[in-house]
């Protein structure tokens, strides 16, 4: 890389004009400047718990402005036992679904005056544990965990006494609050849509979950097939990534029974599959139709645009945050399941209106 400028720091003899006290301004400075006690400053800053005379308040506000005072959150946290911060543990902020979720969580938290400590576990259980522990030691008021695992036995260990809600978790988790979507119904609706287009051999491109629960998406796919009296199509398993989907697509193309439609358990996988299909010269949706699960924005811009089962990420994030720090914190094991909506585009065979 090229270094453009390299100006040594000028001696920090900052002009001691109105603000003689160099270094952070504390509540004490404000009190002195305003000619009141430190308690009063607190009352003003926090609008309570005691009332202050309007005149006094004005003086304090003035001092605050002049001195450029900003309360020290660390001290406040120490005193109050709350950092007004929540932690978020996701597998990978590079994955559009999770980055959207993270953004939504940030918004929801900010609305309540909470900040967000973001950590990625990179699909790595060890890292996930470390992140949780780290967040706990940082006194976050709670953590939202999008676990690598289906059954977060780990949370049992680590979270011990820290409030936790499982996000993007669609199985039951005794002892935990959790929020997720109805994977089963969502997948089923997508596969039924594919069946509606006349497909009879519908493959499943499933993501690999650590854990031995049967994923709702797999069940939904199967159920739709069964109810329609259709045979179980081929299954390929891969990571929940574009690259995983790409590989899965190639395997599917090489398999004995060729599906005429594919249901993918995530948009990312579908996108990888579509690339494999394009490269092989197959037309989508005419040779092979495809539908997926997630509803990320990226799915709107693939070619052809991807029909996908949309998860209400904002709502889920909001629910997770409010389960964590909203009212009713005393509930211990509540499982919120959000419905999905099928977003019909052209990859399934539907035409533009």
Instruction: From the list DNA, a second copy, none, pick the one residue 152 interacts with, judged by a Cβ distance below 5 to 8 Å according to partner type.
Output: none
Please choose, from the candidates 332, 311, 340, 342, the residue with its C-alpha nearest in 3D space to the C-alpha of residue 168. 311
Q: How far is the CB of 116 from a second copy (least distance, A)?
A: 5
- What SS3 state is found at 163? coil
Number of residues near DNA (by CB under 7 A) = 32
Burial (Cβ within 10 Å: 0-12, 13-18, ≥19) of residue 127: middle
Q: Which lies closer to DNA via its Cβ, residue 58 or residue 257?
A: 58
Instruction: From the list DNA, a second copy, none, pick the one residue 27 interacts with, judged by a Cβ distance below 5 to 8 Å according to partner type.
Output: DNA
Instruction: From the list a second copy, DNA, none, pick the one residue 188 interacts with, judged by a Cβ distance below 5 to 8 Å according to partner type.
Output: none
Instruction: Give the x/- contact pattern for DNA in 14-53, rule: CB under 7 A.
Output: ----------x-xxx------xxxxxxxxx-xx-xxxxxx
* 8 Å CB contact between 349 and 283: no
Q: Which lies closer to a second copy via its Cβ, residue 73 or residue 214?
A: 73
- What SS3 state is found at 180? strand
Footprint of DNA on residues 143-172 (CB under 7 A)? none
Q: Which lies closer to a second copy via its Cβ, residue 260 or residue 340?
A: 340
Instruction: From the list DNA, a second copy, none, pick the one residue 50 interacts with, judged by a Cβ distance below 5 to 8 Å according to partner type.
Output: DNA
Footprint of DNA on residues 283-312 (CB under 7 A)? none
Q: How far is the CB of 340 from a second copy (least distance, A)?
A: 11
Burial (Cβ within 10 Å: 0-12, 13-18, ≥19) of residue 18: exposed
**How many angstroms from the chain centroid is the CA of residue 46?**
31
Structure tokens at 106: 């940030």
Cα–Cα distance for residue pair 272/270, rounded to 1 Å: 5
Instruction: From the list DNA, a second copy, none, pick the one residue 93 interacts with, judged by a Cβ distance below 5 to 8 Å according to partner type.
Output: a second copy
Instruction: From the list a second copy, DNA, none, pick the one residue 55 interacts with, judged by a Cβ distance below 5 to 8 Å according to partner type.
Output: DNA
Going by their DSSP bridges, the two strands 289-294 and 235-238 should be labelled as unpaired
DSSP symbols for 229-271: TPPP--EEEE-SSHHHHHHHHHHHHHSSSPPSEEEESSHHHHH
Q: Which lies closer to DNA via its Cβ, residue 40 or residue 100?
A: 40
Footprint of DNA on residues 63-82 (CB under 7 A)? 71-72, 75-76, 78-81
- Binding residues for DNA, rule: CB under 7 A, are 24, 26-28, 35-43, 45-46, 48-53, 55-57, 71-72, 75-76, 78-81
């Amino acid at each position: 890389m090229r270094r453009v400028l390299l100006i040594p720091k000028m001696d920090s003899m900052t002009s001691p004009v109105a603000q003689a006290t160099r270094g952070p301004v504390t509540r004490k400075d404000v009190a002195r400047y305003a000619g009141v006690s430190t308690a009063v400053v607190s009352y003003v800053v926090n609008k309570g718990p005691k009332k202050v005379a309007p005149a006094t308040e004005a003086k304090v506000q003035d001092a605050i402005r002049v001195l450029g005072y900003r309360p020290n959150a660390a001290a406040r946290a120490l005193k109050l036992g709350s950092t007004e911060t929540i932690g978020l543990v996701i597998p990978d902020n590079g994955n559009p679904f999770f980055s959207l979720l993270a953004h939504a969580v940030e918004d929801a938290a900010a609305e309540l005056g909470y900040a967000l400590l973001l950590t990625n576990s990179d699909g790595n259980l060890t890292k996930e544990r470390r992140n949780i522990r780290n967040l706990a030691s940082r006194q976050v008021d709670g953590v939202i965990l999008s676990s690598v695992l289906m059954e977060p036995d780990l949370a049992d260990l680590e979270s011990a006494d820290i409030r936790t809600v499982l996000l993007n978790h669609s199985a039951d988790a005794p002892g935990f609050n959790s929020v997720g979507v109805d994977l089963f119904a969502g997948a089923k609706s997508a596969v039924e849509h594919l069946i509606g287009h006349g497909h009879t051999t519908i493959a499943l491109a499933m993501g690999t979950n650590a854990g031995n629960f049967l994923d709702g998406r797999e069940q939904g796919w199967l159920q739709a097939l069964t109810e329609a009296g259709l045979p179980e199509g081929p299954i390929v398993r891969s990571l929940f990534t574009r690259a995983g989907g790409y590989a899965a697509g190639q395997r599917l193309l090489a398999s004995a029974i060729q599906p005429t439609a594919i249901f993918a358990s995530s948009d990312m996988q579908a996108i990888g599959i579509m690339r494999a299909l394009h490269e092989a010269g197959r037309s989508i949706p005419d040779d092979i139709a495809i539908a997926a699960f997630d509803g990320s924005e990226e799915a709107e811009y693939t070619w052809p645009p991807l029909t996908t089962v949309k998860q209400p990420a904002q709502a889920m994030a909001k629910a997770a945050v409010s389960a964590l720090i909203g009212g009713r914190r005393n509930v211990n094991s509540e499982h919120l399941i959000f419905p999905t909506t099928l977003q019909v585009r052209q990859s399934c065979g539907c035409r533009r209106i």
